[in-house]
Structure 1
Amino acid sequence: MLEISQVTTNPSGALLLFFALLVAHAVGDFALQGNFLAKAKNRNADLAEFFPQAPPRGLWWNALLAHSLIHAGGVWLVTGMVILAFAELVLHSLIDYAKSEGWISFTVDQALHWSCKLLYVALIFLNWPAGLDWDPLS
């Protein structure tokens, strides 16, 4: 894990953190998602290939939450900051929901996810808000 002090004092540390967050995002969105989760997190998806009768009620929400928790875990592992992991959980869920409803395209979805990572790095780099204990476990 990166030392957060490296990020707040060194712009190249911030770039390294951004890259690590993007790698975690790619792993969560592509390597760990799988076909089932990719389809099941969309409440409008046809899941007949997985459930010949009918999918369990509310499955899409559970799948979306599971997928978003994977991403929150990635942010937590990279930054060590639970508050940013929680932000990722909420934001990733909202962005993916918007994509599943057809409100945004895949490209916009990815741009928003990358923007969130950039925001996390900026918050850490600028030490905002001042006085917030970013790492309560230390």
Structure 2
Amino acid sequence: MEILALMIFAHAMADYPLQGDFLARAKNHTAPICGVPWYHALGAHCAIHGGFVGIITGSLALGIAEFVIHAATDYAKCSGRISYNTDQAIHVGCKVLWAWILLG
């Protein structure tokens, strides 16, 4: 439970204060900031999330999985294919899955 709680805390930090307005806007491929490649911003945002998961769990594989799934989820949100609430549910659901994998 401690690892899950830390991952959820880290998610809140990475998706809110550490993302900031610049990354939130720049990662959106449907309305990119002029001169800023959206994939650089999305990659940086997902690296923050993957880094937190990797550090907290001690697993590079889970950190990479977090990076990939976070990128796909945020891309889908920016495309309008999923809602903000679905985006957040997927992110938290992944943290539950990572904790479950560690227990197994």
TM-score by length of 2: 0.95
Mapped partners of 1:46, 1:60: distance in 2: 6
* Matching of residue 72 in structure 1 with residue 58 in structure 2: no
Question: Could you tell me which residue of structure 2 aligns to residue 40 of structure 1?
Answer: 26
2:99 is matched with 121
Q: Paired residue for 2:73?
A: 95
The SS at the match of 2:4 is helix
* Alpha-carbon distance, 1:45 to partner: 1.9
**Kept in 1: contact 2:32–2:38 (CA 8 A):** no
Contact 2:51 2:63 in 1 (8 A): yes
Which residue does 1:60 correspond to in 2? 38
- Aligned CA RMSD, in angstroms, stands at 1.1
> Size of the alignment, in residue pairs?
104
Displacement of 1:56 in angstroms is 2.4
Matched, 1:108 2:86: yes
Structure 1 residue 46 displacement after superposition: 5.6
Match of 1:25 in 2: 11
Mapped to 2, the partners of 1:72 and 1:89 lie a distance apart of 5
1:16 CA drift (Å): 1.4
Q: Which has the larger radius of gyration?
A: 1
The 4+ residue runs of structure 1 with deviation greater than 6 A are none
Question: Does the residue aligned with 1:90 lie in a helix, a strand or coil?
Answer: helix
Once the two structures are TM-superposed, the CA of residue 92 in structure 1 deviates from its matched residue by: 0.4
For structure 2, the 5+ residue unaligned runs are none
Question: Counting helix residues as a fraction of each chain, which structure ranks higher?
Answer: 2
Q: 1:81 to 1:43 in 2, by over 3 A?
A: same
